Structure 1
């Protein structure tokens, strides 16, 4: 059985999940979804683009777990700025607890310096919404398997304002023009970035992504948004301060993303994400 399952919606392939990527250590190897497509077949992810080689489609990436880099690339060091360090961790696929055409449940190890820091249970499901839209439901649960308290940080908590990335992250398709970004009551990167919102939409030339936190804890995480430099959106686990996980405790986040053909307006985006996260 292949270790890189293909997600299908109504029989159509919409995403490939790569469990064991062969990547250099500085890219913080980790499983990822790529390519992810609309139902019409338009790709809405990028893998190792020239501007950020460590951006790997859709997945979970954290720049600082007790000093280990699970994001890839340089590490932001207070007083020094972005610095190349030999501190990269890796997410290792262990097994699938469930495998279906429309989703899976996976167990992973987060390892650094030869030891395990976290054990993750990842649940991914694809659901048809309409004949032009489907939803990716992505949950990750991180359990501290060490005997000490672990803390998760970001460049922002390490001294770089506005760079609180880390957690769920979606590197979107780069086009000639930057995508439009909007929330229920805000427009543009400057207004959406670093703020909480019930949902956030990224609209390209012929496609739209609409993301929403689907638990109370996830909704409290501000959005990390880039459109001008590159198209990407994710959650901010450590926005203003480091997040602690006690030994044996588990941090859980769930993000649901609508993947739609066409450029959605605010009304249509809101209707689709409501349908996607409905109980």
Structure 2
């Protein structure tokens, strides 16, 4: 049964609230309003997301944010152009929460309408947010998206990279973590530098950092399904991890077609072994 009202919703693991859903309706138009999760916390209640940071006001916790859907920005802020570089354009889209399909303690499923600045719908999305326990100190968040092109015409997904800014292929799932005194350490299977992991298709990617209050946390990201996009990673400049739907070339989305992706993130207290967390995340009940 659907519920048209984007009422406050949370995700819980074993009775502990670990994430709060926001529909994004109060987000400024130039930040590309969209649903997001914040705060997301460890089971020990350390916050591991950030919203409206001074360095990038359009970073909103955990969200699906795409920089270029046939010229419309669902990322927010400035747009990179070949002739003028990064400039502010009147091209910001909006993701509207349409209705709930499922609202449970550990599972939220919603319909989301992606509209252009003139209100025309380009995409209709079914998005699910699922929380599940991994260990006494860790839990997993599964974010799955099914994007259907409802515009009646062929679309394509681009990025600053496809518009001329190398290695800036961001757009898709994106997680913004809080800034602390020191940048987080980064890890992947056989890799341990930001440069190595950025743009890679590593089986998993981990951030290990501390909160501004000094509490240790670990995030481990994996991609599920047949498609594994390159990772977009920032650590030294700011802590953020995303997938890149259009790393180096535009991704066609024909009229009526559906694009599906799923990312699982393990959220843990302390500094457990990231590889072990990635393995545990794959063992679903």
Q: TM-score, normalised by structure 1?
A: 0.96
- TM-aligned CA deviation for residue 2 of structure 1: 6.4
- TM-aligned CA deviation for residue 92 of structure 1: 0.2
Which of 22, 25, 44 is the equivalent residue of 1:21?
Answer: 25
Q: Is the 8 A contact 2:6 2:97 kept in 1?
A: no
- TM-aligned CA deviation for residue 3 of structure 1: 1.6
Could you say which residue in structure 2 is the equivalent of 1:45?
Answer: 49
| CA deviation string 1:69-119 (max 9, x = no partner) | 000000001121101100000000001101100011110000012100000
- TM-aligned CA deviation for residue 273 of structure 1: 1.6
Could you say which residue in structure 2 is the equivalent of 1:233?
Answer: 241
Q: Distance in 1 between matches of 2:223 and 2:6?
A: 31
Q: Distance in 1 between matches of 2:138 and 2:268?
A: 4
Could you say which residue in structure 1 is the equivalent of 2:269?
Answer: 261
Could you say which residue in structure 2 is the equivalent of 1:211?
Answer: 221
Tell me whether 1:202 sits opposite 2:207 in the alignment: yes
Which of 175, 178, 185 is the equivalent residue of 1:173?
Answer: 178
What are structure 1's unaligned runs of at least 5 residues?
none
Q: Distance in 2 between matches of 1:30 and 1:252?
A: 18
Could you say which residue in structure 2 is the equivalent of 1:242?
Answer: 250
Tell me whether 1:10 sits opposite 2:14 in the alignment: yes
Which of 158, 167, 171 is the equivalent residue of 1:162?
Answer: 167
Could you say which residue in structure 1 is the equivalent of 2:280?
Answer: 275
Could you say which residue in structure 1 is the equivalent of 2:153?
Answer: 148
Q: Secondary structure of 1:204's match?
A: strand
Q: Distance in 1 between matches of 2:196 and 2:271?
A: 20
- TM-aligned CA deviation for residue 21 of structure 1: 3.1
Runs of 4+ in 1 over 2 A off after TM superposition: none
- TM-aligned CA deviation for residue 4 of structure 1: 2.2
Q: TM-score, normalised by structure 2?
A: 0.94
Q: Is the 8 A contact 1:136 1:257 kept in 2?
A: yes
Q: Is the 8 A contact 2:171 2:245 kept in 1?
A: yes
Q: Distance in 2 between matches of 1:12 and 1:256?
A: 19
Q: Distance in 2 between matches of 1:60 and 1:20?
A: 12
Q: Is the 8 A contact 1:34 1:58 kept in 2?
A: yes
The two structures, once aligned, show a CA RMSD in angstroms of 1.0
1:145–1:116 CA distance, 2 compared to 1 (3 A): same
| CA deviation string 1:10-48 (max 9, x = no partner) | 000100010143021110000000000000000000001
Q: Secondary structure of 2:142's match?
A: strand
